[in-house]
Amino acid sequence: MQIFVGLGNPGAKYAGNRHNIGFMALDRIAGDHGFGPWKAKFQGQLAEGRLGREKVLLLKPETFMNLSGQSVGEAMRFYKLEPGDVTVFHDELDLAPGKCKVKTGGGHAGHNGLRSIHGHIGEAYRRVRLGIGHPGRKELVAAYVLHDFHKADQAWLDDLLRGMSDGAAHLAEGDPGKFMNAVALRTAPPRSSKAPEKTVAKTVAKTEATPPAAATPKPVPEDSASGADTRNPLQRLADKFR
């Protein structure tokens, strides 16, 4: 059994925020893969289902971002799981919008949700880092992550969420490479290497010229009795050049 955790803040006020992309990822996976209904448990919302051959619990902590570790730690201990059985989906300022990377272990890079999880279960869990871009200045970060995605972001956001859902079973089965391939097929589909066929204009088809019919020689007047040519010399000369 595994736990997929999506980070975000509860309530309609935050639903479309950049900080809530982890919640969005789990909602897409749950809907596409026929998970059971969301139920209040472990200070969050929990849904159960299967991804490929693996039983997976989807958990959205409702403790607010800064206390996410309380919910994750409670669920992990209840099911007697290890940190390696936990995968956390979260927003990542240091990745360009629409980019996705998977890593295991490491620091929290100042992310308050990860900081809280570190404090409750350690750092040896897997993370799916979802790029939302950076506002450019540190003092703008708080307002940026708590602001809704713009309309212009919806296309890449939808592709990213679909790609993660497509590859979710690979991630659950321990193959992050195939998971990343599934994401890439949505976010950066390969271009066809085959050059487009050029339309060749079919110009005038070869037509067989019909040779002109051979001129039928003018009959030479003959004497009906002897068969001799009865033309005078002038007529014979004129007929020669006809």
- Please name which of 18, 11, 15 lies closest in space to residue 149, comparing C-alpha atoms: 18
pLDDT recorded at residue 78: 97
Q: Give the Cα separation of 89 and 74 in Å (integer).
A: 18
Strand 44-51, strand 54-61: pairing: antiparallel
SS3 assignment, position 135: coil
Tokens, residue 31: 């809907």
Torsion of CA 24, 30, 33, 34, to 10 degrees: -150
Tell me the mean pLDDT in the region 78-101.
97
Across 172-184, average pLDDT: 97
Q: How confident is the model at residue 211 (pLDDT cuts 50, 70, 90)?
A: low
pLDDT value for 191: 81
- Average pLDDT of the residues of the chain: 88
The pLDDT of residue 201? 47
Nearest CA-CA partner of 7 in 137, 143, 115, 147: 115
| Topology of the domain comprising 2-187 | Rossmann fold (3.40.50)
Confidence of residue 36 (pLDDT cuts 50, 70, 90): very high
Position 206 pLDDT exceeds 70: no
Distance from CA of residue 235 to its chain's centroid? 92
- Residues with catalytic roles: 19
CB 114 within 8 A of CB 126: no
Domain boundaries, the chain: 2-187
- Reference 2, options 46, 63, 62; nearest CA is 46
SS3 call for 148: strand
**pTM of the predicted protein model:** 0.79
Q: Is the pLDDT reported for residue 105 higher than 60?
A: yes
Report d(CA 59, CA 120) in Å as an integer. 16
Question: H or E segment at 41?
Answer: strand 39-41
